[in-house]
Amino acid sequence: MALPISLRSSVTPPELELIASEQLIEIIPLISMDKTAFISGAYGPLRPPAKCRLPIWMATNLKLKKKCHIVPPEWLNIDFLQDRLTRETSQPEFCAMPFRFAEVAKIILDVASDDVENPDKIRSLLKDLREARQAKSREGITKLDHSELTLPNLCSMEINEIRPFFIRSMGVLTQLVREPSAAGDI
Amino acid sequence: MLDARGPPVQFELQAGEETKLQELTRHWMNERHAPDILPAQSVLLGRLLDHIRKQNDTVQLLRADPDSSEEEHFRIMLAQTEIERVKFIVRSYVRTRLYKIEKYARYIVATPEVQERLSETELQHARRYAHLVESHFHRTVLQSLPEEQRGLADETAFMPPMIPEPDKTRAVFAMARTNCPPVRLPDGSTSEMEKGQISLTPYYVVEQLLARGEVELV
């Protein structure tokens, strides 16, 4: 078949990671390289120790070969995450986070945990944050109807997580309110 | 609208012009989430394929050079990695369309306005595939049935239709790329999406916005 069953109803987390790794991130290169034209744009030149902005996939690639240090984004530190977690647990609504924070955080912690300060603490904060937000999305289902649900500040990975259940629920609600006249045409 | 509008999004998605690759990525995700077949992006796809080819040629040229430096090796490796990434997206985009085309082949053949959204090759494939399925059904089952039951287009009440059609009432998660004009919701009210707002709503509500590129599916 053209598309495997597992890919038909939703996208997979690795695919979201692929999209997220097109975002730019700062690195401190350990090798030099002239400015080079890539399909997504021209990057460089790399001149250690000057910082440079590259797509995340390029940064992880160089990092795995020990050719650069990754500068974590400003939101990936204990103070910021702790603050967000406090707000997340004290307010009813979702806090603003970068749309693809879960993917970016995972990539950076996977390949460059030595460039992040206190990675274990950050991992556990991210996990707490995720659980607090997950609980809120589950509550969100009570507000679902057949027409619209606005989801402020929900992030890419979280949407993907709730997608199958929310789409189905809305489908059932749509069927329940369908005009009696339309029911004959099915 | 049920929820109060959230505070304005503080983390803007990366500003600036959308690159060709970002554009294809957006269309790829739209295609993956939309229940219906979206217009083919033939020009965009062609330009990216050209770009892949050119980049590939450059890589081959550099690799053939025996006295390339270590720096060159890294550039080659990165360029090759990127080519593979772009190819993955192109392939997944085309496969998603192919899946929908095969699933709705007979609906496409019967509906001229959908045919406009397909490229020439896609349309040919849809026609051939629909023909193949129909003649298979006919040879294996239908020809042995009583004459009045041989058709595939009958409309029996309360039965799923014999020609599957995209379910436009299926809900999608749409994110506004700009401030959108108001749309009518199924409950009769209207809603205006602000830039960055994310909504879960039936596909037909945002269909026009999506066609104009004012929302993307996430």
CATH value at residue B215: 3.40.5.60
pLDDT in tens, chain A (186 residues): 688 888 888 899 999 999 999 999 999 999 998 898 999 999 989 998 899 999 999 999 999 999 999 999 999 999 999 999 999 999 988 999 999 999 999 999 999 999 999 999 999 999 999 999 999 988 888 888 888 899 889 999 999 999 999 999 999 998 888 765 554 444
What gap in Å lies between CA A98 and CA B11, rounded to an integer?
A: 5
Interchain pair A1, B99: CB under 8 A? yes
The greatest distance separating any two alpha carbons of chain A, rounded to the nearest whole angstrom, comes to 71
Helix (H) or strand (E) holding A164: helix A156-177
Taking contacts as CB-CB distances below 8 angstroms, the residues of chain A near B157 are: 184, 186
For residues A62 and A78, membership in a common domain is answered with: no
Question: Cβ(B179)–Cβ(B195) under 8 Å?
Answer: yes
Residue B76 has pLDDT above 70, yes or no: yes
CATH number for the domain including B39? 1.20.58.1030
Residue A176, Cβ density class (10 Å: 0-12 exposed, 13-18 middle, ≥19 buried): exposed
Residue B24 has pLDDT above 50, yes or no: yes
For residues A54 and A109, membership in a common domain is answered with: no
For residues B98 and B19, membership in a common domain is answered with: yes
For residues A18 and A28, membership in a common domain is answered with: yes
pLDDT at B54: 94
Tell me how many degrees the CA angle B151-B152-B156 measures, rounded to the nearest 5: 95
Q: Does A76 touch chain B (CB under 8 A)?
A: no
Question: Cβ(A69)–Cβ(A49) under 8 Å?
Answer: no
pLDDT at B149: 78
* ipTM exceeding the 0.85 mark: yes
Total CB pairs under 8 A between chain A and B: 162
Distance from CA of B98 to the nearest CA of A (A): 6
pLDDT at B4: 37
Nearest CA in chain A to B59: A38
Number of domains observed in the structure of chain A: 2
pLDDT at B163: 82
Interchain pair B10, A96: CB under 8 A? yes
For residues A144 and A166, membership in a common domain is answered with: yes
Taking contacts as CB-CB distances below 8 angstroms, the residues of chain B near A32 are: 71
pLDDT tens figures, B107-159: 999 999 999 999 999 999 999 999 999 999 999 988 888 887 777 766 666 66
Which residues are CB-neighbours of B141 under 8 A, at least 6 positions away? none
Q: Which of B162, B165, B183, B187 is nearest to B174 (CA)?
A: B183
Distance from CA of A161 to the nearest CA of B (A): 12
Interchain pair B7, A152: CB under 8 A? yes
Q: Residue B201's domain spans which residues?
A: 167-218
Grouping H, G, I as helix, E, B as strand and the rest as coil, residue A33 is strand
Tell me, yes or no, whether B81 lies in a domain: yes
Proportion of chain B above pLDDT 90, given as a percent: 66
Nearest CA in chain A to B159: A186
Identity of the residue numbered B4? A
Interchain pair B88, A174: CB under 8 A? no
Number of domains observed in the structure of chain B: 2
pLDDT at B18: 87
Which of A25, A48, A71 terminates a domain? The answer is A71
Q: Residue A119's domain spans which residues?
A: 73-179
Q: Report chain B's mean pLDDT, rounded to a whole number.
A: 87
Tell me, yes or no, whether A19 lies in a domain: yes
Beta bridge partners of B217: B174
Q: Does A182 touch chain B (CB under 8 A)?
A: no
Q: Give me the residue label for tokens 């330009």.
A: B47
Question: A4-13 contacts: CB < 8 A, separation 24 or more?
Answer: A7/B32, A7/B92, A8/B99, A9/A163, A9/A164, A9/A167, A10/A160, A10/A163, A10/A164, A11/A160, A11/B29, A11/B32, A11/B33, A13/A103, A13/A157, A13/A160
pLDDT tens figures, A68-80: 999 999 999 999 9
Of B169, B197, B218, the CB nearest to A150: B197
Question: Cβ(A44)–Cβ(B71) under 8 Å?
Answer: no
Tell me, yes or no, whether A7 lies in a domain: no
A 115-154 near B (Cβ less than 8 A): 143-154
Q: Give me the residue label for tokens 């007979």.
A: B106
CATH number for the domain including A47? 3.40.5.50
Tell me, yes or no, whether A2 lies in a domain: no
Average pLDDT over residues B65-90: 89
For residues A121 and A64, membership in a common domain is answered with: no
Taking contacts as CB-CB distances below 8 angstroms, the residues of chain A near B187 are: 145-148
Interchain pair A2, B98: CB under 8 A? yes
Q: Which of A94, A148, A161 to mutate to test the interface with B (most CBs of B within 10 A)?
A: A148
Q: How confident is the model at residue B161 (pLDDT cuts 50, 70, 90)?
A: confident
pLDDT at B124: 96
Interchain pair B197, A93: CB under 8 A? no
Nearest CA in chain B to A33: B71
Q: Does A92 touch chain B (CB under 8 A)?
A: no
Tell me, yes or no, whether B153 lies in a domain: no
Which of B83, B103, B123 terminates a domain? The answer is B103
